[in-house]
Amino acid sequence: MRFQDLLAYKKSFALAMKVFEITKSFPKEETYSLTDQIRRSSRSVPATIAEAYRKRTYPKHFYSKLTDSDGENSETQVWLEFAVSCKYISEAIYQEFISESLEIGKLVNYMILNPEKFGVKKE
């Protein structure tokens, strides 16, 4: 299996792309703050899932990378909250993205709790 086949990867990549598209409309003064931060954190979620999968022969690294991914996912939720509070995105978009982010968090947590299903050997 390739890391691109993991459901958590697919869904987090898709959300990162949605974040990228929606942030194109953010004000120019947010380019190096909110826009940059939310893009970085949302992109980091699938990137660290990919790293975790590649490190699956080292269980502690697998857990560490997935924990990092979960943290980046939570950070993305914070930036989304700022975006809706600043009225850069609608409440409907915010709810849609948060719902997707929560689902991604559940998928990452599933990977953490069931490492053997992803090729991780028990220590």
For the chain, the distance separating the N- and C-terminal CA atoms, rounded to the nearest angstrom, is 22
Rounded CA Rg of the chain? 15
3-115 maps to which CATH number? 1.20.1440.60
Ordered by start, the domain boundaries in the chain are 3-115
What string of pLDDT tens digits covers the 123 residues of the chain? 899 999 999 999 999 999 999 999 999 999 999 999 999 999 999 999 999 999 999 999 999 999 999 999 999 999 999 999 999 999 999 999 999 999 999 999 999 999 999 999 876
List, in sequence order, every beta strand (DSSP E) within the chain.
none
| Whole-structure pTM value | 0.95
Please compute, for residue 12, the number of CA atoms within 13 A of its CA located in the half-sphere on the CB side.
Answer: 34
Q: Which residues contact 70 (CB under 8 A, 6 or more apart)?
A: 105, 108, 109, 112
CA angle 25, 32, 94 (to 5 degrees): 45
